[in-house]
């Protein structure tokens, strides 16, 4: 099963940023209010993520690292309308198969924490008493230590750190109500306290966007879009500042990207790199989120209608607030 897990890990754990994503999603599913992310060497050496969520009962702890052990889906019909971020029950097992992973966790009922250690998919020793407050810390060291061919594909610490930060930014933008702190090599590099969406957008996208953003809010039938978009300008210092979310999940979608670009081009004949933070809510029945294991892609049942809706909403916002 270790080999199967290592193969599966290739799907789920492409690089340190994939670990960060999966572990953060679990923390959020556990109701965390504050999350601390500690990275060493861009996450290649160590990724330690501490949450204050509801923890894992120590009787269940050995199950958490088994493949297809998910506590989040009880029936096939749940697959149709998945509310939690995780539902495949393979992330922790995959990560554990290609790293030295420890879980330290404590529920509100426990009077102390419990810990499990898994090295390259093999559990080391028993679930044992540990210390710590209510919540969970997942510590992932030496990613790919036992799969050297994969380890070779890791880029520099700087590059991997960049990917990790991208992941945290996306998640943090979707959950401004959760506080985040990020450490790298022993120093705090970001700290976003819990607040509202404006505060979070300002903290992450910065002053330039703060000064130029237009608020957008539009609803039509089963579709609703809200967020912030930049006033068009001729030049933009930073590219790739487009964050779109579908039902709370960061996604990369051609239909939405195309609608954004067309609206900017058609309304103001410019700005191929607008900055946007847009959140689309759609009936879950009309979108398939399970296209890709990493889940940054979706498939709309009616892409044309989504395109038209997003295009119109942006066009409207630009012509009324674009000045």
Instruction: Quickly list DSSP for 281-312.
Output: EE-GGGEE-TTSTT----EETTHHHHHHHHHH
What beta strand segments (E) does the chain contain? 34-40, 46-51, 100-106, 113-119, 122-130, 135-141, 179-184, 187-192, 213-220, 223-230, 242-246, 249-251, 276-282, 287-288, 299-300
Is the Cβ of residue 87 or residue 183 nearer to ligand ADP in the bound state?
87
Query: Binder to Mg ion among 26, 36, 97, 102 (CB under 5 A)?
Result: 26
Q: 322 contacts which partner out of ligand ADP, Mg ion, none, CB within 5 to 8 A by kind?
A: none
Does 91 bind Mg ion (CB under 5 A)? Our answer is yes
Token pair of 295 as six digits:
């889940």
Q: Which residues make up the interface to ligand ADP (CB under 6 A)?
A: 22, 26-27, 30, 51, 53, 55-56, 64, 69-72, 86-93, 136
Do residues 120 and 32 touch, judged by C-beta distance below 8 A?
A: no
CA nearest to 61, candidates 107, 16, 20, 28: 107
**In the block, residue with structure tokens 């912030």:** 228
Pick what 204 binds: Mg ion, ligand ADP, none; C-beta below 5 to 8 Å, kind-dependent.
Answer: none
Nearer to ligand ADP, 45 or 71 (CB): 71
Backbone angles phi, psi at 87, to 5 degrees: -160, 10
| CB closer to Mg ion, 91 vs 182 | 91
Residue 86 CB, nearest distance to Mg ion (Å)?
A: 3
Please report whether residue 113 would count as binding Mg ion according to CB under 5 A.
Answer: no
Helix (H, G, I), strand (E, B) or coil at 24: helix
Decide which of ligand ADP, Mg ion, none touches 136; Cβ closer than 5 to 8 Å per partner kind: ligand ADP
Determine how many CB atoms are found less than 10 A away from the CB of residue 126.
10
Distance (Å, whole) CA 257 – CA 47: 32
In the complex with ligand ADP, the residue whose CB is nearer, 55 or 120, is: 55
Instruction: Give the number of residues in contact with Mg ion, rule: CB under 5 A.
Output: 3
Residue 64 contact partner, candidates ligand ADP, Mg ion, none, CB within 5 to 8 A by sort of partner: ligand ADP
Q: What is the DSSP string of 159-201?
A: HHHHHHHHHHHHHHHH-TTSEEEEEETTEEEEEE-S--HHHHH
89 binds, among Mg ion, ligand ADP, none (CB under 5 to 8 A by kind): ligand ADP
Among 42, 55, 86, 120, binds Mg ion (CB under 5 A): 86
| Shorter beta-carbon distance to ligand ADP: residue 79 or 215 | 79
By Cβ distance, which residue is nearest to ligand ADP?
86
Residues 44, 157: contact at Cβ < 8 Å? yes
In the complex, the smallest distance separating the C-beta of residue 22 from ligand ADP, rounded to whole angstroms, is 6
> Which of 91/116 has CB closer to ligand ADP?
91
The nearest distance, CB 102 to ligand ADP, in angstroms, is: 12
Structure-derived torsion over alpha carbons of residues 36, 96, 165, 21, reported in degrees to the nearest 10: -90
Nearer to ligand ADP, 170 or 213 (CB): 170
Residue numbers at the binding site for Mg ion (CB under 5 A): 26, 86, 91
């Amino acid at each position: 099963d270790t080999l199967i897990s290592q193969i599966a890990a290739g799907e789920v754990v492409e690089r340190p940023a994939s670990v960060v994503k999966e572990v953060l999603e679990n923390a959020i599913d556990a109701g965390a209010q504050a999350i601390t992310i500690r990275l060493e060497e861009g996450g290649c050496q160590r990724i330690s993520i501490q949450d204050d969520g509801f923890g894992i009962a120590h009787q269940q702890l050995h199950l958490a690292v088994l493949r297809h052990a998910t506590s989040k889906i009880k029936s096939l019909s749940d697959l149709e309308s998945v509310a939690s971020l995780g539902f495949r029950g393979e992330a922790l097992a995959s990560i554990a198969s290609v790293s030295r992973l420890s879980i330290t966790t404590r529920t509100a009922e426990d009077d102390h924490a419990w810990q499990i250690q898994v090295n390259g998919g093999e559990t080391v020793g028993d679930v044992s008493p540990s210390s710590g407050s209510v919540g969970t810390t997942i510590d992932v060291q030496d990613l790919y230590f036992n799969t050297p061919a994969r380890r070779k594909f890791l880029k520099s610490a700087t590059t991997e750190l960049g990917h990790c930060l991208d992941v945290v930014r996306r998640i943090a933008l979707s959950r401004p109500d959760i506080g985040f702190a990020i450490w790298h090599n022993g120093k705090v590099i970001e700290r976003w306290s819990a607040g509202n969406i404006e505060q979070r957008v300002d903290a992450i996208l910065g002053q330039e966007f703060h000064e130029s953003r237009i608020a957008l809010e539009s609803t039509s039938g089963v579709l609703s879009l809200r967020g912030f978009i930049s006033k068009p300008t001729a030049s933009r210092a930073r590219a790739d500042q487009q964050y779109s979310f579908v039902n709370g999940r960061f996604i990369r979608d051609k239909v939405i990207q195309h609608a954004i670009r067309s609206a900017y081009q058609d309304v103001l004949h410019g700005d191929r790199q607008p900055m946007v933070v847009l959140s689309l809510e759609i009936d879950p029945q009309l979108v398939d989120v399970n296209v890709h294991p990493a889940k940054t892609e979706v498939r709309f049942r009616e892409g044309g209608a989504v395109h038209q809706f997003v295009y119109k909403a942006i066009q409207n916002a630009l012509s009324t607030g674009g000045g």
